[in-house]
């Protein structure tokens, strides 16, 4: 395919339209409109509309002959903007030159579909077609400033589009921090040698446009050098999970309460707490994300990927009905919250079709485990969180985070003996090995626990646990509402629980991986393997086996294990 004629295919173009539609923020539109009082009189007015505040396009040096692809992508964005007749600026920049800066005209252009050809021409001229190697004076094309010194202010309501030669483009930590909000709905277009490719949303990356330069290193706990220094360097966890008091109040008795009540009434739904936002999960997927923007003001989002299923037409569901749901809710928008509550069955139907095409059984089972233990105060473990990740220490990720609080009357009256349990769920033997397999995951976490405090992680989970109890999402039989205190002073105070489903005894993968764990056990937590109490996913202390006991007692179900069991 000639470079100048490269374009997104029909499926990619459709996915891009749906993605941009579903992520449109609510912005203030200013326009001339007829007076509501005097017929024939006009005046300036402003009101909320769905669209992006501005469109900012970045193109990598050397892509000046990809005009058709640039025109296609910018045209899709312009059509979405023009639906509400938005007035918006367009800013065009190129990057990857020898000065490490953004190159632009130092001005913005006017938005509008009829002006799209002008944007394309200017953007391609800025990029040029020169692909020769240019040594970079600086590793980053962003400081976010044009050579003329015009500051580039990018806000959360802006649409950022990157045109890149390939996926080697990376962003610096500084650029990611400056563009954190709009990067969540950014568009990445890759001009591969034979086809155009696309990525949507945040890319976990640093920026390096020099072909052979040393890549700028991330200042997070996942750096290889800092891993090797574990024990001598410390890392502060980003313990950010939790809701502000007004957010909690709106859920328990305010504007958001109908959604909380809908979750509690439907056992297939699960509300989990993030950093001043909540995710409502269905079958392990995020049905609705609610983010606190300011007191009593929230953003609602449904993942647009679920609208890409071919089976929606069979159900008679129009993606536009879902995309048009209100994106921003204030304390006065009772009807807006009600419309989301009424659409929950529709959203579930949409997700059912998508999961039929893209099964994720492991995540579905995670939610079942949470339901079985949080709605039954007789189990010994409470699930504080599912799909846990930490933005600072990336090795700290888990399918489920739990608190072990034995269900005996004596233990439930004792608030200081609660311990942390990190649960890894593996469905089928194929998920046990490889880069995201069991052993590599455990070893990475064990290395990181040399330089962080498991107590800090446990305290975060206790805080989340307490908020979920207040909302009625966990039945714990707490005495006088007193939350438990975490205990994590020794290796035995942190459990790493392996929860297996559908293991095939004829497979050699599980015995091989367990033998690897036996020969190189973790130093900072105790491995436990969970067995059901006859059947089901209720977690009890009596059903937890150490690795050695498990290998000794269940050899027939596991399969042949290499070497001797200690």
Domain spans of the chain, in order of start: 3-35+43-210, 245-357, 361-558
3-class DSSP state of 46: strand
Q: Lowest-confidence range among 110-114, 143-147, 223-227, 384-388?
A: 223-227
pLDDT in tens, 393-414: 666 788 999 999 988 887 877 6
Contact between 306 and 348 under an 8 Å Cβ cutoff? The reply is: no
Distance between CA atoms of 555 and 549, rounded to whole angstroms? 10
> Is the pTM value of this prediction over 0.75?
no
Average pLDDT, integer, range 207-232: 33
Average pLDDT, integer, range 450-459: 75
pLDDT in tens, 415-440: 667 889 999 998 888 888 765 678 88
Pairwise pLDDT comparison (85 vs 214), residue with the higher score = 85
Average pLDDT, integer, range 255-267: 96
Distance between CA atoms of 62 and 66, rounded to whole angstroms? 9
Cβ neighbors of 252 (< 8 A, separation 6 or more) are 260, 470, 471
Q: Classify each residue of 449-474 as buried b or exposed e, where b means 16 or more C-beta atoms within 10 Å of its C-beta.
A: bbbbebeebbbbbbbbbbbbbbbebb
Distance between CA atoms of 516 and 506, rounded to whole angstroms? 18
β pairing state of 196-200 and 277-282: unpaired
pLDDT at residue 32 in the model: 47
> Mean pLDDT of all residues in the chain?
80
pLDDT at residue 223 in the model: 33
């Amino acid at each position: 395919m000639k470079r100048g004629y490269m374009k997104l295919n029909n499926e990619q173009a459709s996915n891009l339209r749906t993605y941009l539609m579903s992520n449109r923020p609510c912005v203030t539109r200013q326009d001339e409109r007829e007076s509501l009082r005097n017929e024939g009189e006009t005046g300036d007015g402003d009101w909320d509309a769905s669209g992006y505040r501005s469109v900012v396009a970045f193109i990598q040096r050397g892509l000046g002959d990809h005009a058709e692809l640039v025109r296609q992508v910018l045209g899709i964005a312009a059509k979405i903007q023009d639906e509400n007749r938005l007035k918006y600026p367009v800013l065009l920049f190129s990057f990857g030159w020898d000065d490490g800066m953004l190159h632009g005209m130092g001005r913005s252009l006017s938005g509008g579909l009829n002006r799209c050809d002008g944007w394309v021409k200017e953007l391609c001229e800025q990029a040029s077609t020169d692909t020769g190697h240019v040594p970079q004076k600086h590793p980053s094309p962003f400081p976010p400033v044009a050579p003329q010194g015009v500051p580039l202010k990018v806000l959360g309501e802006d649409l950022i589009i990157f045109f890149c030669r390939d996926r080697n483009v990376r962003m610096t930590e500084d650029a990611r921090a400056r563009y954190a909000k709009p990067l969540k709905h950014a568009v990445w277009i890759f001009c591969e040698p034979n086809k155009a490719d696309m990525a949507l949303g945040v890319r976990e990356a640093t920026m390096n446009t020099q072909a052979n330069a040393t890549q700028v290193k991330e200042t997070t706990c996942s750096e290889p050098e800092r891993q090797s220094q574990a024990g001598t360097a410390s890392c502060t966890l980003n313990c950010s999970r939790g809701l502000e008091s007004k957010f909690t109040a709106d859920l328990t008795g305010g504007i958001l309460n109908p959604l909380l009540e809908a979750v509690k009434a439907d056992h297939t739904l699960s509300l989990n707490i993030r950093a001043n936002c909540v995710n409502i999960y269905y079958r392990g997927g995020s049905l609705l994300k609610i983010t606190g923007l300011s007191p009593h003001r929230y953003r609602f989002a449904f993942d647009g990927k679920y609208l890409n299923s071919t089976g929606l037409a069979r159900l008679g569901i129009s993606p536009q009905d879902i995309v048009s749901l209100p994106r921003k809710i204030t304390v006065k928008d009772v009807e807006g919250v009600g419309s989301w509550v009424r659409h929950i069955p529709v959203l579930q139907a949409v997700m059912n079709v998508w999961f039929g095409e893209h099964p994720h059984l492991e995540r579905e089972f995670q939610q079942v485990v949470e339901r079985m233990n949080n709605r039954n105060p007789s189990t010994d473990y409470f699930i504080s969180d599912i799909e846990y990740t930490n933005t600072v220490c990336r090795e700290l990720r888990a399918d489920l985070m739990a608190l072990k609080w034995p269900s005996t009357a004596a233990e439930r009256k004792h608030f200081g003996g609660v311990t942390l349990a990190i649960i890894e769920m593996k469905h089928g033997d194929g998920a046990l090995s490889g880069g995201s397999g069991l052993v590599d995951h455990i070893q990475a976490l064990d290395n990181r626990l040399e330089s962080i405090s498991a107590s800090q992680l446990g305290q975060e989970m206790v805080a989340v646990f307490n908020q979920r109890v207040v909302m009625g999402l966990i039945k714990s039989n707490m005495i006088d509402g007193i939350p438990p205190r975490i205990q994590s002073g020794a290796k035995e105070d942190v459990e790493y629980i392996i929860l297996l489903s559908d293991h095939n005894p004829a497979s050699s993968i599980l015995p091989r991986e367990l033998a690897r764990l036996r020969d190189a056990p973790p130093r900072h937590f105790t491995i436990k393997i969970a067995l059901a109490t006859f059947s089901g996913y209720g977690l009890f202390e009596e059903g937890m086996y150490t690795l050695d006991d498990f290998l000794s007692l269940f050899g027939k179900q596991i399969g042949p294990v290499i070497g001797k069991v200690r």
